Amino acid sequence: MQTTTKGRILICALLAVFLWGCSSGPKPTQTPQKTVLEQPAPQSTPPQTTQPQENRAAEAKTIIPPEEKKAVEEETALQQKAANLEKDEPSALLEEALMVYQEAKLAWERGDMNAALKALDDAYKIILKVDLPADSPLLQEKNDLRLLIAQRILEINASGRNPIKGNGKSIPLVENEFVRREIELFKGSERKTFEAAYQRAGLYKDWIQEELRKAGLPEELCWLPVIESWYQARALSRARAMGMWQFMRSTGYRYGLTQDRFVDERMDPYKATQAAIKYLDELHSFFGDWTTALAAYNCGEMRVQNVINTQKVNYLDNFWDLFRRLPYETARFVPRFIGTVLIIKNPEKYGFTLPTPYPPLKFETITINHPTKLATLSVALGLESSELSYLNPELRQDSTPDHEYSLRVPVGYGEKTLQIISSLPKFVPAEPSVHVVRAGETLSQIAAKYRTSVQAIVKLNGIKNPYLIRIGQRLRIPGRG
């Protein structure tokens, strides 16, 4: 019995030892956990600190609002544009004008005609800011872009016009109260001027009529220069229109008339006539009515088109429907032209005895490439000093240009001119300097400083009011001589 009890006690003791050993078994696994916790911090920080920061930075780049991102990009573009302007202003301006032109093209393709025309207008204003010397390699690029913009304007206008019901190729000579009022002025205070213009017309009229016939236009249009310029080749209007056909500077460029420091072909009766025929033909195609086309010739097709667009109907029976809504001078322009044609067709009816027209000009044309004063050439040829100027009114400085040029000389003087032209002294016009207006300065003070005249500065800079100049304004000053 005792033996059995002792045996049981021994078994229980062994079992307790076994159970204690099992319960203490997991303790060795605590040692690696303790060593991990005691590892130096730098070994554990890289995966826990730097990587999350980089991820957050990358994430921050992608959550910028689109509007803010666009504003930043525009700001950067403006800064780049400013830097370009400082570095190379003419080139940068031409590039900017081309970009605006491309915006206009996109607007037109979207069907937004108003936005396209506004962009083209802005592009043209930028081009006018580009001031280049005559020998600049950018000059051709500037002229090409100018013509491209002008052609696009015509194309857009033609695509969206509401044409007036046309009268074919004839000009309706309506004798109403407005026409009779202009005829009375021609008979009264303007009689001498009118008759002198009719007399001068003989110099060019026959040639102009022939060119009109070739183009399929009414021959009566040859009398348009009577009311435009009194048939004076060097006429200049208050609005800065120039020549016998009174082209504005931009319109002259548009139809290929060269304008540089030597030549202004707006004053060339023959080249300006060709340009005027193209313009009139386009205007007639645009409006379909000659009287309306003539009104547009005076004030611009956009002005007339805007008047048409404001009508309550989308068509016009004839010019007189919009007559009263046009600018005053334009409203008078068409009646004056009709009155002129009526008087010339039947002078006795209106109390006129018109003088005998001058005979057509006769001359020879030679090609030269030597800049010299016309006065010097006239002396060498034994001509009066005014003859060559009269035959070549487009020469701004009464000098042949420093590039190839077709010079008109009296009949029989062509060969002699070619023989002596290269031996004559070369003429080099003085380059104009630039003056920046300071506070308190007047044009008379500036003119005295540079030993020139107020009139010369006004003419060179196209200043409308000689008493109004602003601080910081850049004025070109004529060179001495």
Of residues 79 and 32, the one with the higher pLDDT is 79
pLDDT band at 114 (very low <50, low <70, confident <90, very high): confident
- Say if residue 152's pLDDT is above 90: no
- Say if residue 322's pLDDT is above 80: no
- For 205-257, write each residue's pLDDT tens digit: 999 999 999 999 999 999 999 999 999 999 988 777 899 999 988 888 889 99
Distance CA 440, CA 403 (A): 42
Of residues 62 and 469, the one with the higher pLDDT is 469
Distance CA 395, CA 260 (A): 10
| Structure token pair of residue 72 | 């930043």
Please tell me the predicted confidence (pLDDT) of residue 58: 42
- Pick from 84-93, 110-119, 298-307, 345-354: least confident: 84-93
| Structure token pair of residue 210 | 């022939």
The interaxial angle of helices 50-62 and 41-48, nearest 10 deg, is 20
User: In b/e form, how buried is each residue of 141-171, taking b as 16+ CB within 10 angstroms?
Assistant: bbbebbeebbebbeebbeeebeebebbeeeb
**Alpha carbon distances (Å) from 282 to 154, 157, 170, 357:** 9, 11, 15, 30
Please tell me the predicted confidence (pLDDT) of residue 150: 73
**CB neighbour list of residue 292: distance below 8 Å, 6 or more residues apart:** 164, 304, 316, 318, 319, 322
- Is the distance from CB of 431 to CB of 479 less than 8 angstroms? yes
**What count of other Cβ atoms lies within 10 Å of the Cβ of residue 103?**
17
Please tell me the predicted confidence (pLDDT) of residue 51: 47
- Say if residue 324's pLDDT is above 60: yes
Distance CA 204, CA 206 (A): 6
Q: What is the mean pLDDT of the chain?
A: 78
Secondary structure of the chain in HEC code, one letter for each residue: CHHHHHHHHHHHHHHHHHHHHHHCCCHHHHHHHHHHHCCCHHHHHHHHCHHHHHHHHHHHHHCCCHHHHHHHHHHHHHHHHHHHHHHCHHHHHHHHHHHHHHHHHHHHHCCCHHHHHHHHHHHHHHHHCCCCCCCCCCHHHHHHHHHHHHHHHHHHHHHCCCCCCCCCCCCCCCCCHHHHHHHHHHHCCCHHHHHHHHHHHCCCHHHHHHHHHHHCCCHHHHHHHHHHHCCCCCCECCCCCECCCCECHHHHHHCCCCECCCEEHHHCHHHHHHHHHHHHHHHHHHHCCHHHHHHHHHHCHHHHHHHHHCCCCCCCCCHHHCHHHCCHHHHHHHHHHHHHHHHHHCHHHHCCCCCCCCCCCCCEEEEECCCCEHHHHHHHHCCCHHHHHHHCCCECCCECCCCCEEEEECCCCHHHHHHHHHHCCCCCCCCCEEEECCCCCCHHHHHHHCCCCHHHHHHHHCCCCCCCCCCCCEEEECCCC
Please give the single-letter amino acid code of residue 14: L
- Say if residue 293's pLDDT is above 70: yes
pLDDT band at 16 (very low <50, low <70, confident <90, very high): low
- Is the distance from CB of 379 to CB of 212 less than 8 angstroms? no
Total-model pTM: 0.60
Question: Nearest-CA neighbor of 148 among 106, 104, 179?
Answer: 104
Domains located in the chain, CATH noted? 85-159 (1.20.58), 177-350 (1.10.530.10), 364-423 (no CATH), 433-477 (3.10.350.10)
Please tell me the predicted confidence (pLDDT) of residue 13: 54
Please tell me the predicted confidence (pLDDT) of residue 474: 87
- Say if residue 410's pLDDT is above 90: yes
- Say if residue 304's pLDDT is above 90: no
pLDDT band at 204 (very low <50, low <70, confident <90, very high): very high
Please tell me the predicted confidence (pLDDT) of residue 383: 92
Please tell me the predicted confidence (pLDDT) of residue 273: 97
pLDDT band at 412 (very low <50, low <70, confident <90, very high): very high
Please give the single-letter amino acid code of residue 7: G
- For 433-481, write each residue's pLDDT tens digit: 788 898 888 998 998 888 888 888 888 888 888 888 888 888 888 865 4
Distance CA 405, CA 370 (A): 9
Please tell me the predicted confidence (pLDDT) of residue 286: 81
- 378 strand-pairing partners: none
- Say if residue 5's pLDDT is above 60: no
Distance CA 223, CA 208 (A): 10
**Alpha carbon distances (Å) from 26 to 21, 23, 31, 32:** 10, 7, 10, 12
Q: By CB neighbour count within 10 A (0-12 exposed, 13-18 middle, 19+ buried), where does 349 fall?
A: exposed
Of residues 327 and 381, the one with the higher pLDDT is 381
> How many Å separate Cα 192 from the centre of its chain?
39
**Alpha carbon distances (Å) from 158 to 174, 216, 235, 250, 278:** 27, 20, 31, 19, 15
- Pick from 194-203, 254-263, 322-331, 384-393: least confident: 322-331
pLDDT band at 193 (very low <50, low <70, confident <90, very high): very high
- For 164-182, write each residue's pLDDT tens digit: 444 446 788 888 888 999 9
| Structure token pair of residue 89 | 């202003």
Q: Which residues are the active-site residues?
A: 228
Q: Which of 14-23, 95-104, 143-152, 354-363 has the highest mean pLDDT?
A: 354-363
